Amino acid sequence: MARSYYSTVFDQPADQVWATIRDFNNYPVWVDGAGESRIEDGRTGDAVGAVRDVVYQGRRIRQQLLALSDVTRSQTYAFCEPSPLPVDHYQATLRVTPIVDGDRAFVEWEATFDCGAERREELSEFYGSAFATWLGSLRRSLER
């Protein structure tokens, strides 16, 4: 199982971090480099099954929301085929957990996927780095 994982600490309360990322259509609000985004078929960004069609660094990407939980402050999504990189069965989860000590947030981003053995290490590192970059971008958006 190829797996990418990144986690970090935010100084904002968990509910505040979650409020920003919860809506599946909010991607361009907090991810630098993400342009126009829309949810297909007139659905809302909190509807499980919704597909977002987003332009990221000039490239159109389609992703589907597979699960959303206000209990665990988490969302799970997958790429609609074809995925932009040579991976199969890609599934990612973004989760926000309260840090009681200091009223902060522990934020995790994990993906699992299949790919050719020769690119497994490279792609695992790629997504891990991307998660770090996007959470850096989320941090800046929360500090504005």
Query: Which residues lie near a copy of itself (CB under 8 A)?
Result: 1-3, 5-9, 43-44, 46-49, 66-72, 76, 89, 91, 97-102, 104, 106, 108, 112-117, 120, 128, 132
Q: How far is the CB of 70 from a copy of itself (least distance, A)?
A: 5
Give every CB contact of residue 89 below 8 A, 6+ residues apart in sequence: 112, 113, 114
Tokens of 38: 């829309």
Q: How far is the CB of 124 from a copy of itself (least distance, A)?
A: 10
Query: By C-beta, is 58 or 101 nearer to a copy of itself?
Result: 101
Backbone angles phi, psi at 41, to 5 degrees: 60, 25
Q: How far is the CB of 33 from a copy of itself (least distance, A)?
A: 20
Query: By C-beta, is 9 or 29 nearer to a copy of itself?
Result: 9
Give every CB contact of residue 42 below 8 A, 6+ residues apart in sequence: none
Report the C-alpha gap between 34 and 49 in whole angstroms.
21
Report the C-alpha gap between 69 and 54 in whole angstroms.
22
Query: By C-beta, is 62 or 120 nearer to a copy of itself?
Result: 120
